[in-house]
Amino acid sequence: MKREPDRVFPRRIVLRIMVICLLGLLGSAGQVEAILSIVESKHNLSVTGPGIIKGVNEGEICIFCHTPHRAQSVGVLWNREDSTATYIPYDSSTIQTTIGQPTGASRLCLSCHDGTIALGAVGSRATEIQMTKRFLDLGPAALGTDLSDDHPVSFVYDTTLSTLNPEYRDPSLLTGEVVLDANNELQCTTCHDPHDNMNGKFLRVYNAFSALCLTCHQKAGWPLSSHANSPAQWNGTLPDPWPHTDFITVNNNACENCHRPHGAGGHARLLNRYLEEENCTPCHNGNVAALNIEAEFSKPSAHPVANTAGIHDPNEDYLTVSRHVECADCHNPHQVNNTIASAPNVSGRLAGVSGIDSTGLVVSDASFEYEICFKCHGDSAQGFAPVPRQILELNKRLQFDLSNPSSHPIEGPGQNPNVPSLLPQYTTASVIYCTDCHNNDSGPGAGGFGPAGPHGSVNPYLLEREYLTDDNTVESPSTYALCYKCHDRTSLMTDQSGFPHSLHVQTNNTPCSACHDPHGISNSQGNSTNNSHLINFDTSIVLPTGMNSGPIFEDLGTFTGRCFLKCHMQVHSPKSY
């Protein structure tokens, strides 16, 4: 069972302090402490070492790395040959420097950790020291020669690099135990002190709350994010969301909720797992976070996060990249928080996510929810129209443009100043979210207790409530529940707008979608005479009459209009209301 490491005087530290006091006459406490730390650690490869891998008979401790005579390297009196292996270095599309072959201290560390040189092969002995295991080839410390899944090393970390990427702290501000080498290169020894295991894993800084990671990395929005602050714990139900740490809360794992500095499953950006969504679901399956979002993706209609792998990239071009969706397309794990917002502004759950604005330009941090939706449902939109429309447009950015003849009020208030069917909580000045319609059918917006958001729904097209588009649908509060979320059913069916909705929808079983396009009609395709009130006919139901190329609606003013069309065998040529 996991146990949160003590942060104030763990028992082992108390015992060590007692030993230091007893041995104080032999030297300074610091000297004794250093000796104790290496003796008690896995780097003690002598027969007295605590690890499984150690010498069969060898009693010397320092010999496995150091020798006072004929050393391979004068600076550290190195007792091993440098590895001659060629390594695969770390790489990613977002790195701001070139990572080459390991140098300096990192190459010395790899003489054991790459598994190519026998652990007992030291320069000061004519024959190899016999070990319980000859090579380090298993476990997290066995790095191998493929370093693409490990934190990059042997690169110059200077102000030029931190200027290129503001998320790297200025190296001149580095303090405490974290150090660069004499060439200002980040090495294994920047994070690890091979002689001191007081913090575990030979870390120079105890990494609770990712204190070590944050010494160099300063992600925008991180201090206020949920992943930095949530005390949520794992409930013990497998799988373990944090198999490579001893921490049991989200805030203590911090960066390591998603990232792993060595042996990462997703090499670029050192993600725990290769499949992008699998870095989120181990916590968001109800075993750490309170609500099970993972289950939502199994519903009949869902954002298909499992359909692609390795395509998403922080630098991707939304217009040219292969169509996909991953959790990180909508959520920034470094900035996500619980801040509440009102339409159309992004909430904390969507903080720090890129988007496409209403003009089609890329924005690094979306201000409005619809900007995030436009990344996939705007200019890059593909697929098909669920209803065959007289005017076909898949680009939602164009459909919601405020200069359109009509649209639902996503970017701003709608164009129609007279909507008597609106429920009391809405006015013609109201603005709504895309997620007011596209959302979880069992979430709070639908009166349920499931997670909010368009992860999955039992209704087609990720709709929060039922909205049937088949002809001859019998009208009821449920068949058009989505419409009735904002529009008063009684008002509509008593024809308060002047149009005989009751005759069409209740008597003749005509669906709302036969006449109305719920998104909007682009100003480049429609006009305020023929396409006000979201009029865009379903051409499988509404047909043209006479010589007309299509069915026609004409807006003649407030609550008046006429139609030239054929519907349910009834010819309107024209029919006025």
Nearest-10 crossing angle of helices 11-22, 29-39: 130
> Backbone phi, then psi, for 156, in 5-degree steps?
-75, 125
- Alpha carbon separation from 151 to 18, 198, 256 (Å, rounded): 37, 22, 13
Please say whether the dihedral angle defined by the alpha carbons of residues 506, 508, 511 and 514, taken in this order, is positive or negative: negative
What is the structure's pLDDT at 177? Answer: 86
List 575's β-bridge partners, or say none. Answer: 563
Q: Tell me the C-alpha distance between 398 and 400, whole Å.
A: 6
> Backbone phi, then psi, for 496, in 5-degree steps?
-65, -20
Q: Along the 577 residues of the chain, how does pLDDT read in single tens digits? A: 565 554 444 444 444 544 444 444 444 555 556 566 899 999 999 999 999 999 999 999 999 999 998 888 778 999 998 888 999 999 999 999 999 999 999 999 999 999 999 999 999 999 999 999 999 999 999 999 999 999 999 999 999 999 999 999 999 888 678 999 999 999 999 999 999 999 999 999 999 999 999 999 999 999 999 999 999 999 999 999 999 999 999 999 999 999 999 999 999 999 999 999 999 999 999 999 999 999 999 999 999 999 999 999 999 998 888 889 999 999 999 999 999 999 999 999 999 999 999 999 999 999 999 999 999 999 998 878 999 999 999 999 999 999 999 999 999 999 999 999 999 999 999 999 999 999 999 999 999 999 999 999 999 999 999 999 999 999 999 999 999 999 999 999 999 999 999 999 999 999 999 999 999 999 999 999 999 999 999 999 999 998 899 999 999 999 999 999 999 999 999 999 9
Q: Tell me the C-alpha distance between 315 and 331, whole Å.
A: 15
What is the structure's pLDDT at 5? Answer: 53
Which of 12, 467, 470 lies closest to 200, judged by CA? Answer: 12
Q: Tell me the C-alpha distance between 200 and 205, whole Å.
A: 9
What is the structure's pLDDT at 19? Answer: 43
- Which amino acid does the sequence have at 248? I
What is the structure's pLDDT at 395? Answer: 97
Q: Tell me the C-alpha distance between 254 and 275, whole Å.
A: 20
Please say whether the dihedral angle defined by the alpha carbons of residues 382, 384, 389 and 390, taken in this order, is positive or negative: positive
Q: Tell me the C-alpha distance between 400 and 263, whole Å.
A: 46
pTM: 0.90
What is the structure's pLDDT at 146? Answer: 98
* All residues at 6 or more sequence positions from 76 whose CB lies less than 8 Å from its CB, including other chains: 65, 66, 105, 108
What is the structure's pLDDT at 28? Answer: 52
- Alpha carbon separation from 477 to 223, 424, 445, 474, 487 (Å, rounded): 46, 18, 17, 10, 11
What is the structure's pLDDT at 9? Answer: 41
